[in-house]
Structure 1
């Protein structure tokens, strides 16, 4: 989850909110790639969660990372909760259960994304190993219960934790026990945003299947290949889902603004204080009629912070966020960004991907979304298996990456990062299915070996 913004510029009208999105437009030559990933920390040798406090806790890890990197600490109530690279744009933050997140800096190529990732992993290991902390490369903590999961000292998460059980059955599981990898990509115009949003929404289930990697909960199989994705189906219907209206005529910044205005607020931040207004209307805040804060008017930071509390399969801010994938091994983190860059950053590939999905119905898209967490590549749409569809989509993505023509120092272009996904489709088995096979076989029905074999 993104760090909270501070910009107290007052907002006077809905039109200013629409204009906020428009200011995200960039010329193609300025397009960048942002990659975020979360990883679940654990105590090595014990396979237990890592609390915030203590000489071997998350706080000590963050303080060690600050000393190593020299990044600016993010402090809340006297406690370090993240780090900010004020020069490069990257950040380290904490998810509610201690999941350790890198929000990567915006870079020009996938090679830059992977260099940043490998550098980060090396730095984290340098600090974490003396503390006895390891990190899992799976999409959900596989062993400990929700009650055993630590809670990070962030007020916004406290507010969310109180609200989530009122609107869904799995909101707390989402917050405290899941881990994702996300790619953030730019748009050039409103029409470009809409086309990319439609393509990425329709094909998000393909990414979910390719990256399915969360088959265990509470130490045993949970019946799904991506339990992380399944959890989102019962979290909060007001702020999640496939956005069927995004495919209707008239879609644009205004339509997304109206959607976001109707998503209930969690909090309003003033100074260092988070005011719990969960369930209240942003429209009332905009009009100065919020009951909990009478007379208080909306600011730009209220709007940008509110947008981070909306969780559709693809989220619109001043860029597009691809939100459908479980986290995985380092090579797969790179491959998620490659998958989407190849589809969305080359016009011919974007057009081809759009032609592939343009006549799918809302019901077909939603059915695919609901089938994939359990079935993975065996799901189907229009009598085609998702495995077949994924092969076609990967071909389109490969063509897009080749057309970008961005070689590394060895002369390899960005298509090298798709190889792991192409091999997965050729084999027809997700990483989750591989994990389940090991659980039934050499792991002897225990998830403990995952803390060695699936650790970074």
Structure 2
């Protein structure tokens, strides 16, 4: 999975647990839209690639327990404890104690912690040994985007800022997330794989939902920052992907 994929990970802040829960649910809810919008893999292993969610497919089929959606991400009682319990039950694979890396075998994080404890350094390692679409550390790490040229990466960062640093947008999309389920998101993925831009998802077509996403993100940015969104606005208007933009993958 490390060899076959590359990504743009963007990290965002949260103020307290309640803010974390809203933004974490929102990021999971928006994952498919962010992944589709940044899809940039026309070829894979020397052959044309038809999987618009190729990164997701590789990660989820490598180790489905620790990848994909955190199972309780959209639950009403989700919070720090639920995330911690999920990590604690995960086989750790390897342990890095700051001096050496050792094989953890099939021992869970909780079992390994009986030896190594819970200091700040080892907790950071425990948290790094799960690979969900959205990961919790001291920040929220959004792992949805494909690898992109620098200009597109800047546009994506502006998109994330406009969405997650605007209180109205957080309230809007976290509210949508609270009425959604992980099973619904899996169904959305299958629909998008089949119907692409015309997929009936998020209460709209995918193209329509992406248009709303960009409009709302623009409201959370100043005039200079909004200019970065024009690249994605053009993609949605033309129903194209980054790799279909002439010369855009040259840097």
TM-score by length of 1: 0.52
Find the residue that maps to 1:213 and give its secondary structure: coil
Deviation at 1:223, TM superposition (A): 2.3
Aligned-pair CA distance for 1:233: 2.4
Report the Cα distance in structure 2 between the residues aligned to 1:338 and 1:454, rounded to whole angstroms: 19
Report the Cα offset of residue 374 of structure 1: 6.8
C-alpha distance 306-196 of structure 1, shift in aligned 2 (>3 A): same
- Partner Cα separation in structure 2 for residue 361 and residue 224 of structure 1: 23
Q: Output the CA distance in 1 between the equivalents of 2:132 and 2:191.
A: 17
Which of structure 1's runs of 4+ aligned residues deviate more than 6 A?
none
Residue number in structure 2 paired with 1:161: none
User: Is this contact kept in 2: 1:377–1:385, CA < 8 A?
Assistant: yes
CA RMSD of aligned residues (A): 2.2
Residue 425 in 1 paired to residue 236 in 2? Answer: yes
Higher RCO (CA-CA < 8 Å; seq separation 6+): 2
Tell whether the 8 Å contact from 2:91 to 2:108 is kept in structure 1 after alignment: yes
Counterpart-to-counterpart distance in 2, 1:356 and 1:392: 13
Assess if the C-alpha contact under 8 Å between 1:226 and 1:374 holds in 2. no
Give the match for residue 39 of structure 2: 212
Q: Distance in 2 between matches of 1:370 and 1:299?
A: 42
Matches within 5 A, 1:180-219: 180-219=7-46
Where does the alignment leave 5 or more consecutive residues of structure 1 unmatched? 1-173, 289-295, 403-411, 439-451
Tell me if 1:269 matches 2:89: no
CA distance in 1, matches of 2:146, 2:36: 9
- C-alpha offsets along residues 113-171 of structure 1, whole Å, 9 cap, x if unaligned? xxxxxxxxxxxxxxxxxxxxxxxxxxxxxxxxxxxxxxxxxxxxxxxxxxxxxxxxxxx
Cα displacement string for residues 357-403 of structure 1 (whole angstroms, at most 9, x for unaligned residues) = 4322332112224554675434331662211101111111111114x
Task: Write the distance in 2 (CA, Å) between the matches of 1:372 and 1:357.
Answer: 18
User: Higher helix fraction: Structure 1 or Structure 2?
Assistant: 2
Secondary structure of the residue that 2:61 maps to in structure 1? coil
Match of 2:137 among 317, 324, 329: 317
Residues 263 and 217 (structure 1 numbering): CA distance in 2 closer, same or farther, change over 3 Å?
same
Moved more, 277-286 or 319-328: 277-286
CA contact (8 A) 2:17 2:79 kept: yes
1 CA distance for matches of 2:25 and 2:237? Answer: 27
Contact 1:266 1:279 in 2 (8 A): yes
| Partner SS, residue 280 of structure 1 | strand
Equivalent residue number for residue 415 of structure 1 = 226
The match for 1:401 is 221
Checking the alignment, whether the CA contact within 8 Å between 2:149 and 2:248 is kept in structure 1 is: no
Cα deviation, 1:26-53, whole Å, max 9, x if unaligned, reads: xxxxxxxxxxxxxxxxxxxxxxxxxxxx
Find the counterpart in structure 1 of residue 249 from structure 2.
454
Secondary structure in 2 aligned to 1:247?
coil
* 1:365 equivalent in alignment to 2:185: yes
Who wins on radius of gyration, i.e. which is larger?
1
Q: Which whole-Å CA distance do the structure 1 matches of 2:201 and 2:231 have between them?
A: 24
**Closer/same/farther in 2, CA of residues 252 and 356 from structure 1, 3 Å limit:** closer
TM-score by length of 2: 0.90
Asked whether 1:340 is paired with 2:160, we answer yes
Change in CA separation of 1:388 and 1:333 when aligned onto 2, cut-off 3 Å: same
> SS where residue 234 of structure 1 aligns?
helix
Q: CA deviation at 1:287?
A: 2.6
